[in-house]
Amino acid sequence: MEDILASIRRILSDDEVAASGAAAPQSQSAPVEGRTANDGVLVLDPAMMVSKPPESVVSAPEPLPAPVPVVPAPAVTEQQALVAPAAAAAAASSVDNLVRALAAERTMQVHSGGPTIEDIVREELRPLLKEWLDANLPPMVERLVRVEIERVVGRVAP
């Protein structure tokens, strides 16, 4: 590991020499107690410091999209309607409740204590995977074992 780091340092210093046309300046800081110049420890000097990043601008949260205007449906007489007015009102109420629930879920904050997406996907896929394995694994194993037996027997028989 140390050899790799040393070779990387040599390459970098060779690149610096080639770019500047002069030898890389040595650090002017005093060696740390117990360490020598060839310890492989990189000592930062003020010339190596990076300027502070620009202050991040806090943007306002994106506004919610404007609601789609509701266009009234053409008037339908009770004889032309496919469902009764009470059933239509119940269906509209159910859809409205569903839309409100979805909108509330979108505004919920994610917290670190709840299940992750991986956990949810794993729980949902487990029954599907079990069903697929129950249906497909035995024939697949039987077919692969048969192929392997035929390969081994074919090798032994002259």
User: Where residue 127 falls among pLDDT bands split at 50, 70, 90?
Assistant: very high
Bigger pLDDT: 81 vs 42 = 42
Which residue shows structure tokens 């492989």? 40
Q: At 38, is the pLDDT very low, low, confident or very high (cuts 50, 70, 90)?
A: low
| pLDDT of 70 above 80 | no
pLDDT at 136: 92
Contacts of 37 (CB under 8 A, 6+ apart): 26, 31
Q: How many other CB atoms are found less than 10 A from the CB of residue 40?
A: 11
pLDDT at 144: 92
Domains of the chain, residue spans: 116-158
pLDDT exceeding 70 applies to what percent of the chain? 60
Asked whether 23 and 17 are in contact (CB, 8 A), the reply is yes
For the stretch 129-157, pLDDT in tens is: 999 999 999 999 999 999 999 888 887 65
pLDDT (0 to 100) of residue 135: 92
CB contact at 8 A, 32 and 41: yes
Q: How far apart are CA 94 and CA 72, in angstroms?
A: 19
| pLDDT tens digits for range 16-28 | 777 666 544 454 4
Which tokens belong to 109?
A: 């904050």
- Give the dihedral of Cα atoms 65, 69, 70, 75; nearest 10 deg: -160
